[in-house]
């Protein structure tokens, strides 16, 4: 049985588009900062600023009482999933072009469609399932399985990090749908920011002096474990921008998945793909390889097909009151 929640697909789509635009800006800013700051410092600063904006939204949505929950364990698990999703993706950004990492991450809506079957009771018929398979074929193509590890510019692990991020993100959004029936979007955003702060402080306690980074030349390991430094004057605008984006992302995506079915809003997250290509070209002067272009086409095509089938199904149900698996 599908989770009972209010259904406003139009509002959900608008919110997810705003969230995706903010994610694109967020990823660009973090890649810009990845050469000079540790990831846990960037995450802490981003979340400390972001939680202030989120707490403001809490006041607008009903006050402190909206933070009360009867499901603290599920909120903690959701927060852990979004921390894993973000940190694995940000680590990939340190060594992969923005478009490549983003394209691989966009296995997330495919995972959401698959996971919505056992976890939310949503129906996904053979045609949409076929589209999901095509989308995953694009992910496999971008992994370049025909090349040896020594022929790749980065290790296979780095290529898999965005896919792991996608899986964690999909699980997080499924939990958002479950929790969204009883929890305000502002509260969901606050819980996420609080989890980021706790995890980043844990990294600071263990590795904030940078001693573990000295033993590795890997750019991702350096990004994760280098020592905290006081931000340069010109970088504060990036850090404040990250904090504002964190609040916008947390609120908009949480609200989008509260207001609409996962299979309806998830395909619109593909807007992030052309945005990532644009930032990569505009700032770093890089364009995707043919494998990435082909993978983008397969993933976006699959996502659009899933969305169109979902819309056809919704119109048929509204017209006849009956539905079938498609």
Which range in 3-17, 48-62, 246-260 is most confidently predicted, on average pLDDT? 48-62
Of 209, 120, 224, 101, give the one whose Cα is nearest residue 163: 101
% residues pLDDT > 90 (the chain): 10
Helix H, strand E, coil C: the string for 36-54 is CCCHHHHHHHHHHHHHHHH
Q: Flag whether 82 is in a domain.
A: yes
Average pLDDT over residues 225-229: 89
pLDDT higher than 70, residue 242: yes
Q: Flag whether 83 is in a domain.
A: yes
Q: Flag whether 14 is in a domain.
A: no
Domain extent for 254: 31-320
Q: Flag whether 260 is in a domain.
A: yes
Note whether 160 and 237 are within 8 A (CB). no
pLDDT tens for 161-176 read 999 999 998 888 788 7
Number of domains in the chain: 1
Alpha-carbon torsion angle 128, 133, 135, 136, nearest 10: 150
Q: Between 232 and 257, name the one with better pLDDT.
A: 232
Give kind and range of the element (H or E) at residue 69.
none
Of 81, 66, 53, 92, give the one whose Cα is nearest residue 173: 81
What pTM was computed for the model?
A: 0.76
Q: d(Cα 165, Cα 127) in Å, to the nearest integer?
A: 26
- CA–CA distance from 207 to each of 76, 220, 227 (Å)? 23, 15, 7
Angle between helices 236-259 and 185-207 (to 10 degrees): 140
pLDDT tens for 65-86 read 888 877 788 888 888 898 899 8
Q: Flag whether 306 is in a domain.
A: yes
Q: d(Cα 135, Cα 122) in Å, to the nearest integer?
A: 19
pLDDT tens for 243-287 read 888 778 878 887 887 788 766 777 787 788 889 899 889 888 888
Q: Flag whether 38 is in a domain.
A: yes
Q: Flag whether 280 is in a domain.
A: yes
Q: Flag whether 89 is in a domain.
A: yes
Write the burial class of residue 4 (CB in 10 Å: 0-12 exposed, 13-18 middle, 19+ buried): exposed
Question: Which band of pLDDT confidence, cut at 50, 70 and 90, is reported for residue 1?
Answer: very low
Q: d(Cα 154, Cα 207) in Å, to the nearest integer?
A: 25
Note whether 132 and 59 are within 8 A (CB). no
């Amino acid at each position: 049985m599908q989770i009972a929640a209010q259904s406003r697909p139009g509002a959900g789509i608008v919110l997810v588009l705003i969230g995706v635009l903010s994610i694109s800006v967020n990823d660009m800013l973090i890649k810009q900062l990845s050469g000079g700051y540790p990831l846990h410092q960037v995450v802490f600063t981003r979340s400390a600023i972001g939680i202030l904006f989120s707490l403001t939204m809490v006041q607008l949505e009903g006050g402190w009482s909206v933070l009360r929950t009867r499901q603290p364990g599920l909120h903690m698990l959701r927060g852990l999933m979004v921390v894993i999703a973000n940190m694995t993706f940000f680590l990939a950004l340190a060594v992969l072009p923005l478009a490549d990492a983003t394209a691989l991450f966009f296995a997330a809506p495919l995972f959401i469609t698959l996971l919505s079957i056992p976890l939310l009771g949503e129906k996904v018929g053979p045609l949409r399932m076929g589209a999901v398979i095509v989308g995953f074929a694009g992910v496999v193509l971008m992994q370049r399985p025909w090349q040896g590890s020594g022929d790749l510019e980065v290790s296979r692990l780095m290529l898999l990090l965005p896919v792991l991020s996608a899986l964690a993100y999909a699980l997080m959004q499924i939990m958002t749908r479950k929790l969204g029936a009883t929890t305000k979007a502002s509260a969901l955003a606050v819980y996420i920011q609080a989890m980021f702060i706790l995890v980043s402080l844990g990294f600071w306690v263990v590795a904030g002096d940078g001693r573990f980074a000295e033993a590795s030349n890997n750019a991702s390991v350096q990004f994760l474990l280098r020592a905290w430094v006081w931000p340069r004057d010109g970088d504060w605008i990036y850090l404040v921008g990250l904090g504002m984006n964190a609040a916008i992302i947390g609120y908009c995506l949480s609200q989008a998945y509260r207001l609409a079915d996962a299979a309806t809003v998830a395909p619109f997250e593909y807007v992030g793909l052309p945005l990532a290509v644009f930032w990569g070209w505009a700032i770093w002067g890089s364009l995707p390889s043919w494998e990435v272009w082909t993978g983008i086409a397969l993933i976006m095509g699959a996502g659009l097909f899933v969305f169109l089938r979902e819309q056809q199904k919704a119109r048929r149900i509204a017209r006849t009151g009956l539905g079938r698996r498609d």
